[in-house]
Structure 1
Amino acid sequence: MGFRTGFVLSSLSFLAGVLFICAQYDHPLIFHAWSDAAPVRAERFYLGLYAAPRAVHALLHGMIALGIVGLLAKLHRWTETAKWFDGAALVFFMGCVGLYGVVIVPNLRLLANPTSMRLLERSSIATQRATLAAEAAAGRLDPSLVPTGPLQPDEGVAALRIVAASNTLILGLFAGVALMLVAEYYVEKEERRMLEAAREAEMKELKVQKGQ
């Protein structure tokens, strides 16, 4: 294992550990029987994480950057295995970054400042409201049920569940990255074995020719 793979594995291990901690608060929101205490605990945890010192955020983002740098360095070799396995791993990893930046961060910002309409318009709740408004316009929903104004309590719960679902998807994508790394290791190991066998066969043939 080279230092490039070490970069990726270090990043994956750290980030997966963070997500396993988050899973203690995520799973009751999406997998367990509903409890009114679950969103309260989850909101307290995520708001605490969001308000953590900048050093915590810097460490998290630094480990994300480390994974990207490691995968780009591996892909830069541009061998057949790198193109297929490292390329796929990079796609999976960037999918995780996309979910974090496009889904998780906007929803956490909204939960931290629920009265901000600007943040609401950039979050997943805006899409949810637009869907309800379309249903009301089509006559399939009572217009009074379409929320307006600042974030509503039930929408706060929905935002937490969206964050929880995104974290679960990211864990799945991390598993895909790890699978690509393991598969690449065994493919390269088999290639080296075949090359060594071919080299030994060639050396034996040369010895036979010299003996003649």
Structure 2
Amino acid sequence: MGYRQAAVLVSVSFFLGEFLPLILTVYPLKCPTAIDPFITPPYADAQTIASLDPKALLHGIVILGLVGLIGKLHKWDESAVFFDGSSLAAYIFALAVYMTVGIPACRTVADPVPNVDTKDDQIEALRILSAGNTIIIVLLGGILALQAGQQWARRLEDNAAAEAATEKTKAAVPEKKAGAAAESKKDK
């Protein structure tokens, strides 16, 4: 594993660590009989996310993941095109979902527009945020699966190359004839 793959795994794992706990707290909102979300943790979670100060850390990790995937794609072999290209597409799609769904929904919940955003709008924004987070988690899990598949394919390819090399060296070494007698010290 190189630095580029480590950059991808670190950024994906960071975002999974950010979104998985949110799924657990926002899950009751997916049910129509959910209790009032302003009494439950989802409201507080959305407010916390919307008012985070270290946005530079979040942006830095997004860029780290993009640089890692583009750097891995730079190698341009079959493995990079399939696994890293698919991972890059999933990463960009997850980023687009976060920017177009997650950020506006968090803003609606955390800082509603007076006389425009009602309590029902905020509950709906939390439900949309929950659905967007679920999509993002599935995409990030797919990236991890693709990266694991790439490592498995490389190991399989390396094992096949090693077996081919041992077969080649076995074929190059001449075998003694079965009927030939072993040389003794006198014959030498």
Residues 17-76 of structure 1 deviation map (CA, whole Å, 9 limit, x = unaligned) = 1112212322121158511146753222211221122x2x21122222211111111111
Alignment-mate amino acid for residue 3 of structure 2? F
Contact 1:86 1:181 in 2 (8 A): yes
Matched residue, 1:188: 154
Identity across matched positions, percent? 30
Aligned residues: 176
Matched residue, 1:110: 108
Provide the C-alpha distance between the structure 2 equivalents of 1:107 and 1:33, rounded to a whole number of angstroms.
21
**What runs of 5+ residues in structure 2 fail to find an aligned partner?**
178-188
1:98–1:168 distance in 2 versus 1, CA, 3 Å: same
Quick check: 1:28 aligned with 2:28? yes
Instruction: Name which of 152, 166, 186 aligns with 2:118.
Output: 152
Provide the C-alpha distance between the structure 1 equivalents of 2:32 and 2:121, rounded to a whole number of angstroms.
19
Q: Give the alignment's Cα RMSD to 1 decimal.
A: 2.1
Contact 1:25 1:38 in 2 (8 A): no
Quick check: 1:199 aligned with 2:165? yes
Pairwise mapping of residues 25-174 of structure 1 onto structure 2 (< 5 A)?
A: 25-31=25-31, 33-37=33-37, 41-53=41-53, 55=54, 57-115=55-113, 150-174=116-140
Alignment-mate amino acid for residue 191 of structure 1? E
**What runs of 5+ residues in structure 1 fail to find an aligned partner?**
117-148
Moved more, 178-187 or 15-24: 15-24
Q: Which has the larger radius of gyration?
A: 2
Alignment-mate amino acid for residue 180 of structure 1? L
Contact 2:29 2:37 in 1 (8 A): no
The two structures have a TM-score, normalised by structure 2, of: 0.85
The two structures have a TM-score, normalised by structure 1, of: 0.76
Contact 1:74 1:86 in 2 (8 A): yes
Moved more, 104-113 or 158-167: 104-113
Contact 2:37 2:123 in 1 (8 A): no
Q: Secondary structure at the match of 1:52?
A: coil
Alignment-mate amino acid for residue 51 of structure 2? A
- Structure 1 residue 4: deviation in Å? 1.2
Q: More helix by proportion, 1 or 2?
A: 1
Contact 2:5 2:68 in 1 (8 A): yes
